[in-house]
Amino acid sequence: MMVGQTIMMGFPGRRTEDPGVQAVSAQLRDGTIGGVVLFPKNIADKAQLKTLIDALRGTRSDLPPFIAVDQEGGAVQRLRARKGFEWFPSAKLVGGNLSLDAQDVAEEIYRQMAVELAGLGFNMNLGPVVDVNTNPDNPVIGARGRSFGDSADIVSPMAAAFVNAHHAANVATVAKHFPGHGSSTVDSHRTLPDISQTWREEELDPYRRLELQGLLDAVMIGHLYHPRFSDLEGLPASLSGKAVEALRGADGLAFDGVIVSDDMEMGAIRERFTPEEAAVRALKAGTDIVVFSNIKRDDPEFGRRIHRALSEAVCDGRLSEKRIEDAHRRIVRLKDQLKTDTLPRAW
């Protein structure tokens, strides 16, 4: 039961009678996994999506599953306008507003986004992107307009507006990609970015400011290499205790919320680790939820495979029971906030 809460899984299918949907529903019901993430392949239109999410949410009443999506605006919108959903501007456009009421304008944009998500049944948005756009040619952040701007002073208030608006709609958020993907020159979907020569201390500021405002529900650790955040040369921060310590430690952010992995099937991980090995390493390092998009393999039983690997790691001592208990405590606390509509607001 506790192990299952640490797994968030993508799945094939759109209709409740589809084998992939039935399989993932069973895994949610029996505690094999604790949440799902939806992609365009799962989405046809509003009516279909609402029916699907209602069925997924109905699998558990005691501990509701996370129903997550990447809905940033701009290039990353899983709910697409051509399928009848609202269109939202990119972070670059939102952050480029230089008017005095820019933060209010941003919050109204994200209020509309969050209301749509909540109305469909989502309770987690895998955003905001709080990467500082230090390399505009960055193929995965800057070039795609996913950053609010080139300084923490721009990124931080826009990110706060994003989170505040989602909290008002009772949708949890996940700030990403710690410790900062904005300076990278390669895409972690393809290979491991080395940010050791380009990363700046300023890239931690948006996380610090959100935490000070009580707006940091969860943090996504990116598949990035930097010796300050990596335990071994070439090991991603997402699999490293150093990155977690930078978030948790008294000398860091002193953050006690949920830590989420980036997709564990991205190239930066896949080129070196099996899914099972990556999941165990991430949990052992201190991540609370491991995310698997399950896009390419489309395996409806993949959640059981990861659950089995983590359970075996606990049994043979590679993963401590306390590590799972700590993750479970943080996850349940956030789910309880969603259940009682008590996510904090800064204003």
Q: Is the dihedral of CA 305, 308, 313, 314 positive or negative?
A: positive
189 is known as an active-site residue: yes
Q: What is the Cα–Cα distance from 280 to 292, expressed in whole angstroms?
A: 13
Answer whether 330's CB lies under 8 Å from 258's CB. yes
Per residue, the 3-state secondary structure of 204-217, as one string, reads HHHHHHHHHCCCCC
- Any catalytic annotation for residue 256? no
Cα 10 to Cα 46, 208, 300, distances in angstroms: 19, 30, 9
Coil vs helix vs strand at 292 = strand
CA-closest candidate to residue 117, choices 35, 55, 188, 46:
46
**Beta pairing partners, 8:** 35, 291
Q: Which of 30, 189, 256, 299 is catalytic?
A: 189
CB-based contacts of 249, cutoff 8 Å, min separation 6: none
Is 146 strand, coil or helix? coil
Answer for the pair 50, 121: CB distance below 8 angstroms, yes or no: yes
Catalytic-role residue among 187, 205, 262, 288 = 262
Q: Print burial letters for 235-269: b (CB count within 10 Å at least 16), e (below 16).
A: bbbbbbbbbbbbbbeeebbebebbbbbbbbbbebb
Alpha helices in 34-84 (DSSP H): 46-57
Give bridge partners of residue 69 from the DSSP assignment: 38, 125
Whole-number Å distance between alpha carbons of 231 and 201? 19
d(CA 56, CA 7): 15
Q: How many residues does the structure list for the chain?
A: 347
Residues marked as catalytic: 189, 262
